[in-house]
Amino acid sequence: MQFQQLAYFVAVAEHRHFTRAAEQVRVAQPSLSQQIRALEHDLGAPLFHRIRGNVSLTEAGETLLPIARRILADTETARLAIRELDELDRGRVRLGAPPSLCTGLLPATLAAFRRRYPGIRLELHESGSGDLRQRLAEGALDLALLAGARTTADAGLAATPLLLEELVLISSPEAPVAGDRLGIGELADVPLVMFRRGYDVREATVNACRAAGFEPTFAIEGGEMDAVLELVRAGVGAAVVPSTVAGGRFRMTRFTPEAGMTRVVQLAHRADVEPTRAVRALRSAIAGFVADPARRASLPPGIESLVADGALS
């Protein structure tokens, strides 16, 4: 098995087309096909179904794809790590974060980081925590802010708890939910605008409702953060969101303390890959922001720091 063969395999798997894959990797299509056949011979199993021009992954191909992506990503990480041995004036960090943290915690932190390390290229990937965990495990991300009800990291990930954040219920000012506080049971009568699957807030809300003995009512589901906020503002329904995104456009209702509606934000990377100097620098910058009371004061209320100053330096 050769590195080049894995690169060709991933290209075909992503394009589902041999000619377009060959164009991407800049090789003649017959040569690419020959290398794929050689890889299949070495592995002892076909990787693609080839039926009348349609290309799809076999079970062996589905198994190999995340492994191949991880090998390619690790190779790029190793190359960058060697380049960074002398100084922190170049490099790349692929950071993943949920949308609520992309608008709340990260802008000021990344702005300060860019001023200090202008040569480091930052790539920000915005998605739900479930998606980010998978991309981190596959090697598509170097670092990710993950949110959830627990502080235990997934197998294969090393994570440091950063923040404990309150979840709140928001509704349109024209159609507010009664009261300043409510218990989980009161959500049974509230139509909810619900995030798509993969968002930790969706999981937390649904699990809390089921623990209270009922299924939540969805006014509409499947949205990303911006869509959910706009639907609530339009009066379609209420939504459970992190306190950092509640803002002043909505009627905000807090849950009673016994409801336990909070989430833990962790900073995670793969445990089996040593972070590059650029990744370590960004980890330290994010942790430093969270640990600094003066800078954290710019964030909305309902957030508690879980990291001490200098813990990730």
Give residue-wise pLDDT tens across range 189-211: 899 999 988 888 998 899 999 99
- Residue bearing the bigger pLDDT, 52 or 233: 233
Give residue-wise pLDDT tens across range 73-125: 888 777 777 766 555 667 889 999 998 888 878 888 999 999 988 888 899 99
Measure the CA–CA gap between 132 and 98, rounded to whole angstroms: 8
Give residue-wise pLDDT tens across range 19-66: 889 998 889 989 999 999 999 999 999 999 988 778 899 999 999 999
User: 103-113 as b/e, with b when 16 or more CB fall inside 10 Å?
Assistant: bbbbeebbeeb
Kindly list the structural domains of the chain, giving each domain's residue range(s) and its CATH number in brackets, ordered by start.
3-80 (1.10.10.10), 87-161+264-305 (3.40.190.10), 165-262 (3.40.190.290)
For residue 241, what pLDDT band results from cuts at 50, 70 and 90? very high
Q: Give ∠ CA 149-150-154 in degrees, rounded to 5.
A: 120
Q: Is pLDDT at 228 greater than 90 in this prediction? A: yes
pLDDT at residue 176 in the model: 78
Residue 282 amino acid letter: L
Strands in 98-226 per DSSP E: 120-126, 143-148, 157-171, 181-182, 192-195, 218-223
pLDDT at residue 84 in the model: 62
pTM, rounded to two decimals: 0.67
Q: CB–CB of 265/101 below 8 Å?
A: yes
| Across 175-198, average pLDDT | 88
Query: Which residues sit opposite 254 in a β-bridge?
Result: 168, 181
pLDDT at residue 259 in the model: 83
| Across 63-73, average pLDDT | 91
Q: Quick one: tokens of 189? A: 């009568």
For residue 9, what pLDDT band results from cuts at 50, 70 and 90? very high
pLDDT at residue 311 in the model: 47
Q: Quick one: tokens of 53? A: 């021009």
Give residue-wise pLDDT tens across range 112-164: 999 988 888 899 999 888 889 889 988 899 999 998 876 555 668 888 898 88
